[in-house]
Amino acid sequence: MEVVENRVTEPVAEASFGNHAQIEYVPYGRLCRSPLNVRKKAPTGIEALAETIVVKCILQNLVVHEVKGRSKQPKLGVCAGQRRLAALDLLFSQGRITKDYPVPVLIVSEGEAVAASLIENREREAMSIADESVAFRLLTEEGKSVAHVAALFKVSEMVVRRALKIANLAPALLDLLRDDKLDYEQAKVLVLADDHATQEGVWNNAINAWQRRPSELRAAITKAEIDARDSALAKFVGLDAYEAAGGFVRRDLFSDGEHAGYITDADLLHRLATDRLIEISQAVAAQGWNWIETRTRGDASELIRYGRVHSTTRKPTKNEKAELAALVAARDAAHMELNAYYDEDGAEDEARYDRLSTAVDVATHAVDQYAERFEVFTPEDMQRAGAFVYLDDDGFVTIERGLIRPEERAAARGGDALPVTATEQSGKPARVTPLHNEKLCRRLTAHRTAAIQTELAKHPNVALAVLMSRMIPVVFDEHYERQYPEHAIQVDLRTSRNALVKHADDMADSVAWKEVEAERAKWMRMLPARADALVPWLLDQGSDIQSNLFAFCVAATVDGIDGSDHAHAVNSLADVLSVDLSYYWKPTRASYFHHVSKSRIADVLREHVSPQAAAEVQGMKKDAAAAAAEVRMAGSGWLPEVLANRAVPEFRSYAWADDDADGEAGEAGDAGGDADELTGEGGDATGDDEGLAEAA
């Protein structure tokens, strides 16, 4: 019997290239680009690679194959190493190497060339950021400057400094970074601590996954330190003045902010800020005011309780007009530059945006401050009134003059309390077993109201439509006879400002309130002091001033505060304006978890985080559970049912329900029920009385 030998033909493995050949050096002049190279896209970063070759020579061989031609010594086509060849071409064109420059190569056959090119371009693994950072550190330890390393690799000096900062990670953490068990964002935070013991301690103490979020690691390292980018006190004092007084700043090299860092001595910062504010307060007191109050932070809920004396606006001198015009021009130029940035296409530049935004804030504040000098008070009013000196959220000094203390204000009014809104007087009954009590509902819906006011003030066309929707049924009452829809607008011109502060003691810290109050302050500076001068003043203003002021006034009448969670007319406005309430309200200990039971906290965590998170808070005290919930729900975008409920009241029309109702009412809706049944008059819009023909 004939024995047949079975042979399995295996493809040439990628790792076998070079097993049958040796690395050899050939002159640069013999090299050319191979037509078999699979990478067709032009290489990048050639200048930096060329500089590296000049300093370190070629550290890795090229893979080549013979290219058939007429010359006795055939050319060698580079099938793997296209960037290195391009760098050599650049050096040759610059006269920095000759055709005799020796280049290490591995010569393969044409059959192996395509596979070699594919391996070179697909299987090469990117260098770990940890190894790259350590390599930069080794270069600096050899005596190379940061500027030299940056120029060598064609990167900015900041990139090199950040790499050196990463290289300062504890060796164990660098190993985790190499093994992808520690990501780059986490590493950036850990190097805020310079000593390895702190870095490892913070990481090792972060047992749960949520504790290893960059924000949690940052909080663990900085602890009671103050973020200079977010601190009004830091912006007011300035990092240079703080450091000159002996303060230490923990620098954050990975932020593009101009003043990024963490202030470690809060007491020193407060003392420096207080000293400066006292000097400013003394200057204001010298103007003749009866009293001066100084705050390192403005409190809107405190100021709203003060009365105000009337003031007049004097005409500026010729020089003052010129100076004001220059400030206004600078402000407008800053706005134009920021708007031009918004219109640009391309990647976002956080550092540039921060610089332009800050320039706008500074220029706007300069105009506002200069305009304040034209406000005049009588000596008699100054003797019975005072002023507040405080810092706003951007670190600018704000001076509120002409304030009457609450007790003096009440005495002047005969002891009358501040007027309350209709919502405060209504006292709607709560449900039998409500998920949220009446007080919390009012607190949350106050924030909802402020958010919708903020958005409505930005849309004059919507404000006009909303107000007209209240006026038209009154003007055309025969057309809308016996229709009683619910509305969110208080057209009897009672604003909901006092109610917002009353029902939500954290209102002053909300994004919506700060925006609305900033707009209010702007308009108050522009409006005439006397009410009888309003019409002439309004007629002198442009259409943009009129429309924006109109939108603000309409927005101020929005009242969506309610003591229960049910369909509310304010939600129709929220839908028209596409209000994202998760932007304006965040689930924190102060805003929500402190006001509900521990079982409710556990329910929220169970549904929106995990059963494990819910189980953890069960064994905690209430305050600790609320604090833990705030941390776990941070950035979740979660809203309690009161705010998530976007239902609007059902529209009901009470009229004779006959077959021609649509035509008579101008297609107001489809009437239901028997044609001869009379609808109820003035009944509860939510009732189920028989005989009512309801058009929804």
Q: Which residues lie below 8 Å from residue 510, measured CB to CB, with a gap of 6+?
A: 447, 450, 504, 584, 585
pLDDT at 116: 64
pLDDT digits (tens, 9 = 90+) for 38-64: 565 677 778 888 888 888 788 788 888
Secondary structure element (H or E) that encloses residue 563, with its range: none
Confidence check: pLDDT of 18 > 50: no
Q: Please report, for the chain, how many H helices and E strands are present, in that order.
A: 32, 14
The answer to whether 250 and 261 are in contact (CB under 8 A) is yes
Q: Is residue 136 very low, low, confident or very high in pLDDT (cuts 50, 70, 90)?
A: confident
pLDDT mean across residues, the chain: 76
| Region of poorest pLDDT, from 35-44, 118-127, 199-208, 345-354 | 118-127
pLDDT at 37: 66
Averaged pLDDT, 161-179: 88
Paired strand residues for 404: 307
Confidence check: pLDDT of 579 > 60: yes
pLDDT at 191: 85
Query: How close are the terminal C-alpha atoms of the chain, in Å?
Result: 95
Nearest to 337 by CA among 325, 346, 329: 329
Confidence check: pLDDT of 662 > 80: no
Task: Kindly report the backbone phi and psi dihedral angles of residue 370, in degrees, each rounded to the nearest multiple of 5, phi listed first.
Answer: -70, -35
Nearest to 561 by CA among 498, 511, 622, 604: 498
pLDDT digits (tens, 9 = 90+) for 476-497: 444 445 555 666 655 565 678 8
Confidence check: pLDDT of 300 > 80: no
Q: Is residue 113 very low, low, confident or very high in pLDDT (cuts 50, 70, 90)?
A: low
Confidence check: pLDDT of 443 > 90: no
Integer Cα distance of 21 and 108 in angstroms: 8
Confidence check: pLDDT of 511 > 70: yes
pLDDT at 670: 39
- CATH 3.90.1530.10 positions along the chain are 14-122
| Region of poorest pLDDT, from 6-10, 162-166, 572-576 | 6-10
Integer Cα distance of 57 and 99 in angstroms: 15
Secondary structure element (H or E) that encloses residue 423, with its range: helix 422-426
Task: List the CATH code of the domain at 14-122.
Answer: 3.90.1530.10
pLDDT at 15: 36
For residue 251, the SS3 value is strand
**What percent of the chain has a predicted confidence (pLDDT) above 90?**
5
Integer Cα distance of 26 and 74 in angstroms: 12
Q: In whole angstroms, what separates CA 163 from the centre of its chain?
A: 27
Question: Given the structure tokens 């100054």, which residue do they identify?
Answer: 382
Q: Which residues lie below 8 Å from residue 190, measured CB to CB, with a gap of 6+?
A: 169, 173, 182, 199, 202, 203, 217, 221
Q: How many CB atoms lie within 10 A of CB 298?
A: 19
Q: Is residue 92 very low, low, confident or very high in pLDDT (cuts 50, 70, 90)?
A: very high
Residue 231, CA distances (Å) to 188, 209, 236, 255 in order: 21, 29, 9, 16
Confidence check: pLDDT of 28 > 50: yes
pLDDT digits (tens, 9 = 90+) for 348-393: 676 777 788 878 888 888 888 787 778 888 889 899 899 999 988 7
The answer to whether 86 and 143 are in contact (CB under 8 A) is no
Averaged pLDDT, 650-658: 49
Integer Cα distance of 197 and 193 in angstroms: 9
pLDDT at 291: 93
